[in-house]
Structures are given as C-alpha cells and as structure tokens.
Amino acid sequence: MPDLFIDGTWRSALDERTREIRCPADGSLVGVVDEAGGKDTAEAVAAARRAFDTGPWPRTPAAERGDLLLRVAGLLARDRAALARAESLDTGKRLVESAYDIDDVVDCFRYFGRLVASETGRVIDTGRPDVDSRVVYEPVGVCALITPWNYPLLQTAWKVAPALAAGDTFVLKPSELTPHTAIHLVRLLAEAGLPPGVANLVLGAGPEAGAPLGDHPDVDLVSFTGGLETGRRLMAAAAGTVKRVALELGGKNPNIVFADAGFDAAVDMALTAVFLHSGQVCSAGARLLVEDALHDRFVDEVVRRAGRIRLGGPFDERAQTGPLISAAHRAKVEAYVARGLAEGAVLRCGGSRPAGPGLDEGFYYLPTVLDECTSGMSVVREESFGPVLTVERFTDEEEAVRLADDTVYGLAGAVWTGDEARAARVAGRLRLGTVWINDYHPYVPQAEWGGYKQSGSGRELGPAGLAEYRETKHIWRNTAPAPQGWFD
C-alpha cells in the first residue's frame, strides 16, 4: 500500500522514489516507504488549502472536533501494541518505552479533545448598552507539522492533536528515519471520520520534502520540532510570508545537585536523566552540575552504575537502553567525546562502542561520563544528543545558577536539594521552560512545554499549546449605529 496521503487518497511519490527503513538495533529491514519530493509536498499543501478554504473541518463546532479527537484516542489505545512495536523497530528504542510513549500519545489526544470542547470564546462587558463585544477563536489555516525521530509519534501527537482541535488543516512531514507510526496515525484519523484533505502526509528527506513547506505562500503556520540549525533555517524561510512559527529545538540541560540532596534518588535520576533512550531526548540532563563537597562521592557512584548499564535491542527484556538512531549520529557523538577529551575533560567510563553478542550490527555507544568539564567546552555547550554526561563543579548557589544558564539553550533542567527555600530560589532564577525539583523528566499534558532562549519559540501542550494553532478575533457590534458628527 502506498504511503503518502494527499487529499484523502493514499498514493506513491510522483517520481516513484522509495526509501528503506532499517532498525538501528541490528540493521534489519523494517520496510520500504514512498519518498516524497517537492512536487508531492506542493500537492499536499494545495489539498490542505482547499480543505481549509472550502471544506467542513474549520467550520465544524469545536465540541464535534473534540469528539473526533476522543475517537482517535480510542483507536490509538486499541492499536497500542502494534504502534509500540512499529515505533521500536524504527527507533531501536526498548519496547516498554515505546509502549509508554503510545500511552502518552493517547493522553495527548484526550487532553486536547476535552480542552477544545471547554475553551470557548468570551463576551466582553464594555459597559455600553449599544455594543456587543466578543472574542472568538478561529483556526490559523494550513499548518506544516515537521517532526523528529527521537519520539516520533509523541512529537507528532503534540502537533496533530491541537491543530485538529483548533480546526486547522495540515501537511505532516515526519522524520525520514521513523515514518511508520505517522502512517498508522493518519490511517486512524481517516478511520475516525476526518474529512479528506484535512490531514496530509508526506514522507521524505528534510531538504526535499520538508523545506518547500517553510516558504510556501499557502502555509500559514510552521510547527517544527528538531535541531537548532534546521529551526533557524525554517524561521528564516517563513519570514518572507510572515508565517506563525512555533519551534521546539534542542537543549543542553543542567541537572544541579547540591550536597544536601537525597543521595540515592539524586544518583538514580542523574543516570535516568541522561541515559534514557541513550541520551536522545531533548530534555536529557546531559550536564551534571555537582557541588564541590559532594563531587567525588557522587560522581564515583554515577560512574559505577553507568558502567553496568545493559545495552540491547528493542525486544531484549534485559536491556536498559538501546542504540543511537544511525551511523551518522553515532559518529557525531564520537566526535563530541573526542573533542571534549582534547579540551581537557577526563574520561571516567564509556567513550567507545560496546562489544558483545548482538551489538555489532547496531549503532550502540557506551554510556559515557566526562568529568572535570568546564562550560566553555564544546561537549558542554552543544547538544551531542547521545549517552554522554559532562560533569562540572560549583561551590555555591550563585555559581550553580550562573553555570546552568551559561548556554544558548533553555529547555529544561533540575535542581536537587533538601533545602526547600533554596529549591524555590534556584527554580525561580533558572532561564528554563521546565524546572524539576528533586525529580527529572516527568511532564503532564496540562502543563506547557517549550524552551527559553534558543531552545525554541512557542509552546506545546497546555492551553498555550492549543493557542499556538488558533487566531483570536475580536468582534465588535454596534447595535444602535448613529452618526458621530466628527467631520461635519
């Protein structure tokens, strides 16, 4: 069955190109999918434009759109096992993690389904009997939704659910490396009764299938999750037609541990913060900032436990984390580690590829700890997006905050301390979109997600996540028009 979905029809790429998708855990062939080019993307935009301008979806009452989202949530829950398996094959991620991701996808559709039904416009009391004034929400229009490979369906859900809730139409361009769950989702949208042309799917490489969305005059909004450089390029491309641009970019996230932190939980979560999904998490706690007095004991324990982490493929139940997404990505991580060592970091564990049965065919890299780092090193400043923890020391609260904020990024981070007042002070000062206190990684769909500084522009999830996909219009009605006489 062909894999591009345009104007309610599944079809192949116009030039009949295809791409092999291989599992990063062992290189096995997962599938062959159609590969769109610029002409396919142009047709998808035209379909989304028609559906927006003349189709029923933007004019469907919000509560009915919410109902459709709830139906989609039910279908996703029905297909949970198949979706989790597909996600694991594309990403190499452990099956149990993919299953959690699918649960989060279901929650996301439910959340926006309910939110849109409850978030109505408002009437303004102007105090004047001759005037009605009200604020209404309208969809933005045609949205380009461009997503990455690390949480493929989840990042897609964070965009598709609010866009549909708001009444938009869209062209979805998932990562070329991990397309299968996006294909499945689009099938479910059709099954749930979404009208043709509202959801359009193009698969393919960024420069060919994605870039034409950035400056297309018929695209009203670009919502992008991915790397900083691609985000910059899309923002520049969108400037020509002044599109709405929502960017969710990278992070180089500080995990700050004070000497009075609960030791066991802080060590445990320092490992989870950075080694979950082999560090391929935008909010990964890849920078450990540890108070001088605790440094040796804390880092020794982190290193001891990092050295024991078991690597393996998605269906290896003993594995604790999996491979990197591609050979090219692993080479990038290796280059960051080499540069860190050249700049003076001390290798405490990892720093190489693992050996062992079943690991040679995949893109594995050992959990790595680099000690004695400073905030000027490229491995500290830039996102390696791999299982690489850098360790910096600080002596007091002031220095901890200064070091944590000494980065162009501002996505997320954590502070660990037994002192509640200090936790509140530090959390209040950090220039980050999410701060965890004595925890790492949890999120809820009710709370906004997004970055300060160059981690992005815009918010996903929460009421602001829906607001990204809506226009707000003020309608003023004069019920007793009469001449004012200003220009008599």
Q: What positions carry a catalytic annotation?
A: 248, 282
> Which of 203, 292, 230 is closest to 21 using CA atoms?
203
Q: How far apart are CA 221 and CA 298, in angstroms?
A: 46
Q: How far apart are CA 45 and CA 47, in angstroms?
A: 5
Q: Is 146 in the site for ligand NAD (CB under 6 A)?
A: yes
Would you say 441 and 272 are in contact if contact means Cβ atoms under 8 Å apart? yes
Would you say 209 and 40 are in contact if contact means Cβ atoms under 8 Å apart? yes
Q: How far is the CB of 65 from ligand NAD (least distance, A)?
A: 24
Three-class DSSP category at 324: coil
Q: Is 172 in the site for ligand NAD (CB under 6 A)?
A: no
Q: At what angle do helices 80-91 and 152-166 cross, to 10 degrees?
A: 130
Q: How far is the CB of 229 from ligand NAD (least distance, A)?
A: 7
Alpha carbon separation from 460 to 126, 157, 366, 370, 447 (Å, rounded) = 33, 10, 32, 33, 9
Q: At what angle do helices 62-78 and 180-191 cross, to 10 degrees?
A: 130
Three-class DSSP category at 423: helix
Would you say 351 and 329 are in contact if contact means Cβ atoms under 8 Å apart? no
Neighbours of 174 (CB within 10 A): 29
> Which of 101, 92, 158 is closest to 314 using CA atoms?
92
**x/- track of binding to ligand NAD for residues 376-395 (CB under 6 A):** -------x-x----------
Closer residue to ligand NAD in complex, CB, 107/383: 383
- The single residue among 91, 98, 169, 175 that binds ligand NAD, judged by CB under 6 A, is 175
How many residues touch ligand NAD under the rule CB under 6 A: the total is: 33
The footprint of ligand NAD on residues 189-248 (CB under 6 A) is 205-207, 210-211, 214, 225-227, 230, 233-234, 248
Alpha carbon separation from 230 to 148, 250, 349, 370 (Å, rounded) = 11, 11, 32, 28
Bridge partners of residue 6, in order along the sequence: 9
- The single residue among 97, 176, 291, 468 that binds ligand NAD, judged by CB under 6 A, is 176
Q: Is 181 in the site for ligand NAD (CB under 6 A)?
A: no
Q: Is 155 in the site for ligand NAD (CB under 6 A)?
A: yes
Closer residue to ligand NAD in complex, CB, 400/432: 432
Closer residue to ligand NAD in complex, CB, 1/328: 328
Q: Is 148 in the site for ligand NAD (CB under 6 A)?
A: yes
Q: How far is the CB of 185 from ligand NAD (least distance, A)?
A: 15
The footprint of ligand NAD on residues 94-113 (CB under 6 A) is none
Q: How far apart are CA 46 and CA 304, in angstroms?
A: 56
**x/- track of binding to ligand NAD for residues 282-321 (CB under 6 A):** x---------------------------------------
Q: How far apart are CA 147 and CA 314, in angstroms?
A: 22
- The single residue among 57, 109, 149, 364 that binds ligand NAD, judged by CB under 6 A, is 149
**x/- track of binding to ligand NAD for residues 57-86 (CB under 6 A):** ------------------------------
> Which of 399, 414, 391 is closest to 251 using CA atoms?
414
> What is the number of the residue whose Cβ is closest to ligand NAD?
206
Closer residue to ligand NAD in complex, CB, 226/340: 226
The footprint of ligand NAD on residues 428-467 (CB under 6 A) is 451, 456
The residues that touch ligand NAD, with contacts defined as CB under 6 A, are: 146-151, 155, 173-176, 205-207, 210-211, 214, 225-227, 230, 233-234, 248-251, 282, 383, 385, 411, 451, 456
